[in-house]
Structure 1
Amino acid sequence: MSRLLAALSPLILAAGAAQAQTADPHAGHDMSKMAAPSQTDPHAGHDMGAMDMSGAQPDPHAGHDMSAMGPPDVPTSANNPGRPPETPPPAAAFGGPAHAADLVFGAQAMAASRQALVVENGDVRTTAVIIDRAEAGFGDGGDTYLWDAQAWTGGDINRFWWKSEGHGDVDGKLEDAEVQALYSRAITPFWNLQTGVRQDFRPDGPNTTHAVLGVQGLAPYWWEIDAAAFLSTRGDLTAKVEAEYDQRITQRLILQPRFEIAASASDIPELEIGSGLSSIQAGLRLRYEIKKELAPYVGVEWTRALGSTADLIRARDGDPDQVQMVVGLKTWF
């Protein structure tokens, strides 16, 4: 054993010397001033405070004065102060005919074409007949019948207009009727000025002719107004105002309040009309439109004679205050 250890001892000593030679290469060096290994910052030493890191695109107009730039040249009002000025057309532009097509087709041919265009698109002639009330009344004063109709023909501005009203007893004869023939002129988009003549027919009284001056149209809140003054050949001046309004409950069911006021400048005893406000009439009708041109209705109407007119009615033992139930038909074509 001793001989084996003696033989191995030189090998053990050689291995220890080799391990000593592979020790830390930095042993004995001062490493305190050396930084940890890292990537070098490419921006090290640069001032980054003024740089925008948001990623937004730079404004191409930055630093430009935009206050002197006006709006784009687009079609706007000619008197817009912000619109750039436009060069007036040259004088030669007004040297030719009013219609350039006259140079190609001739002035005479184009005049006929323009007239046909006016007739077909701007000067349309139409006609309408409206039976506003064709009704029977039941109540005070017995059973009665009544009609109220009007019609017109013409264009948007000028029209010929006629109107007719009348009433009587169901079991008796006609009491009175009137027919008006009028020239109608549109004075505003919603109002017509009307003038003409009116003829009254009375089986038991005088037949009278009147000059008529009135207005008819659509008042605010969709009230239809028909107002006129009448001057008879006897010198009697009377006036009448009618107003009605359609209140739609459904597309077919319509409630219509209606009012009528009559007045006279003087007493007309033979017609039982006194001076001042002579009568007032108020009605309420509910109609159902089977179709636009055909609508039956039911309603109630109250009539009251006023002032001297009421005195004339009482003098013959009449009642100046009457209420009636009405049934009727409204139609037009």
Structure 2
Amino acid sequence: MDQGEKKAQGGSAPADARDPHAYSDGFSLTASPYVQSGSPQLKLADEHSFWAVLGDRFEYQEDSKTGSETIVYDLQAWYGTTFDRLVIKAEGDIASGTLEESSTDLLWGHALNAYFDTQLGLRFDQYNEGKDRQWLALGLQGLAPYWFELDVTAYVGDNGRTALAAQAEYELLLTQRLILQPRAELNLYGKGDPENGLGSGLSDLALGVRLRYEFSRQFAPYIGVEWTSTYGDTADYRRAAGDDRSDTQIVAGLRFWF
């Protein structure tokens, strides 16, 4: 046939087309000798709701200069389907048995593609010494090329406050159980917040590395080191309070999920 005579596919099937159900012998998802009466019908995995809790960081930190001790937690939980789910993120610092500060995100996540979820919701910041803040959150979380785990969220608060938080992690498998995990985290603010000791622009940066041993995929103790530094007005607030603008912490903790 000449190429010019070909027509695009579409429209109704011809009368002698093969029946696509001709080989099912009348069996279907809801009608066959093997369907159990009264039982829920078979569903694909993405039609079910699942849940998970991940403790990415639950660790003890000791400042290498002052010897001060802190307990840090960084937890995430979700419930829902492959495409839509409720996500809760919680992190905070506990010193001398007191919760110094905490941040909790309540988000609705929707799959953008096979690797990333968009997230929309609210964030609540609490301070032992300072003023609590509430934010509207819009973020992106997932797996970037070359297996980097990214979590980037923009925030809008009252009185024109804005913020941006970004985290990146990478897992280097030394063996099937021994894993080295570099990690970076930064926070930026659109305007200063003197009541909570935060300046505008780049406020703080944390770089760390942790070495964990997975007794199982769900239970992995680790040790590591983390360096943190503050910048701009945030660093000035720390100096005024008698603290160093940068710290180095020795950490030991547990990573888990269920």
TM-score by length of 2: 0.84
- In structure 2, the residue matched to 1:293 is 218
> How many angstroms apart in 2 are the aligned matches of 1:179 and 1:109?
48
Query: What are structure 2's unaligned runs of at least 5 residues?
Result: 4-11
Letter of the 2:209 counterpart: L
- Tell whether 2:237 aligns with 1:312: yes
1:221-274 deviation digits (Å, cap 9, x = unpaired): 111000101112343111110001110111111110000011011111111111
- In structure 1, the residue matched to 2:122 is 197
> How many angstroms apart in 1 are the aligned matches of 2:76 and 2:85?
13
The structure carrying a bigger helix percent of its residues is 1
> How many angstroms apart in 2 are the aligned matches of 1:153 and 1:99?
37
In structure 2, the residue corresponding to 1:188 is in which secondary structure? Answer: coil
Q: CA RMSD in A?
A: 2.7
* Structure of larger gyration radius: 1
> How many angstroms apart in 2 are the aligned matches of 1:162 and 1:147?
13
Report percent identity of matched pairs.
39
> How many angstroms apart in 2 are the aligned matches of 1:105 and 1:251?
45
Describe the shift of the 1:91–1:159 C-alpha distance in structure 2 as closer, same or farther (beyond 3 A). same
> How many angstroms apart in 1 are the aligned matches of 2:178 and 2:29?
55
Letter of the 1:163 counterpart: K
- Tell whether 2:84 aligns with 1:158: yes
Query: What are structure 1's unaligned runs of at least 5 residues?
Result: 1-78, 80-87
* Superposed counterparts of 1:268-283, under 5 Å: 268-283=193-208
Greater relative contact order, per chain length (Cα 8 Å cut-off, separation 6+): 2
- In structure 2, the residue matched to 1:5 is none
> How many angstroms apart in 2 are the aligned matches of 1:205 and 1:157?
38
> How many angstroms apart in 2 are the aligned matches of 1:107 and 1:225?
40
- In structure 2, the residue matched to 1:127 is 51
Instruction: State the Cα distance separating 1:105 from its structure 2 match.
Output: 8.3
- Tell whether 2:190 aligns with 1:257: no
Letter of the 1:238 counterpart: A
Instruction: State the Cα distance separating 1:120 from its structure 2 match.
Output: 4.0
> How many angstroms apart in 1 are the aligned matches of 2:194 and 2:183?
28
> How many angstroms apart in 2 are the aligned matches of 1:121 and 1:163?
25
* Superposed counterparts of 1:64-79, under 5 Å: none
- Tell whether 2:158 aligns with 1:230: no
In structure 1, the residue corresponding to 2:41 is in which secondary structure? Answer: helix
Letter of the 1:286 counterpart: L
Query: How many pairs are equivalent?
Result: 239
The structure carrying a bigger strand percent of its residues is 2
Instruction: State the Cα distance separating 1:124 from its structure 2 match.
Output: 2.8
Instruction: State the Cα distance separating 1:99 from its structure 2 match.
Output: 6.9
Letter of the 1:217 counterpart: G
* Superposed counterparts of 1:1-333, under 5 Å: 89-91=13-15, 116-117=41-42, 119-139=43-63, 140-141=65-66, 142-169=68-95, 171-333=96-258
Letter of the 1:158 counterpart: D
> How many angstroms apart in 2 are the aligned matches of 1:89 and 1:211?
52
